[in-house]
């Protein structure tokens, strides 16, 4: 969902893969970003986005399982690189395994808790 390159077909492919694995909560983020021109700006600005996951904390004692992800988001532009925090939460529910979903989980209640700039360095 956050690993994006400035290529329309690559963005569509990654988003479609993410939406297969989630409920409407992720779709709502996608439509909101799309309506605000987020993906078009990535293409027009020739921006690469890369996410590096620091850790994932899952509670497998209660169902549906809760998960919290801590990551760094790198927004790579021609002139600079912006590093951002990315903290998300969701619930994981069991579903049938398939070629599109080999882990057998669906993401429900996806929520972005934090996504703020840490630093920007010139290139």
**If we measure between CA atoms, which residue out of 3, 11, 14 comes closest to residue 52?**
3
Above 80 in pLDDT, residue 1?
no
Length of the chain: 123
| Unique residue bearing structure tokens 């808790």 | 113
Please state, in angstroms and rounded to a whole number, the distance separating the CA atoms of residues 15 and 25.
13
CA distances for 100 relative to 11, 41, 60, angstroms:
17, 29, 23
Binned at pLDDT 50, 70 and 90, residue 2 comes out as confident
Read off the pLDDT of residues 60-86 as tens digits, 9 standing for 90 and up.
999 999 999 999 999 999 999 999 999
Q: Which CATH topology does 8-122 take?
A: Nuclear Transport Factor 2; Chain: A, (3.10.450)
Among 122, 8, 110, 115, residue whose Cα is nearest residue 68: 110
The tokens of 99 are what?
A: 């070629």
Across residues 6-14, what is the average pLDDT?
A: 92
Residue 97 Cα to chain centre, angstroms:
21
| Digit-coded pLDDT (tens) for 27-41 | 999 999 999 999 999
d(CA 84, CA 37): 20
């Amino acid at each position: 969902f956050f690993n994006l390159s400035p290529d329309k077909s690559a963005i569509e492919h990654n988003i479609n893969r993410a939406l297969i694995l989630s409920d409407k909560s992720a779709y709502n983020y996608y439509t909101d970003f799309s309506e605000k021109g987020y993906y078009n700006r990535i293409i027009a600005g020739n921006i690469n986005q890369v996410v590096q996951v620091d850790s994932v904390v899952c509670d497998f004692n209660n169902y549906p399982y809760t998960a919290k992800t801590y990551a760094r988001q790198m927004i790579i532009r021609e002139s600079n690189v912006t590093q951002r925090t990315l903290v998300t939460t969701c619930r994981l529910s069991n579903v049938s395994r398939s070629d599109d979903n080999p882990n057998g989980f669906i993401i429900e209640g996806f929520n972005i808790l934090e996504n703020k700039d840490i630093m920007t360095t010139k290139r």
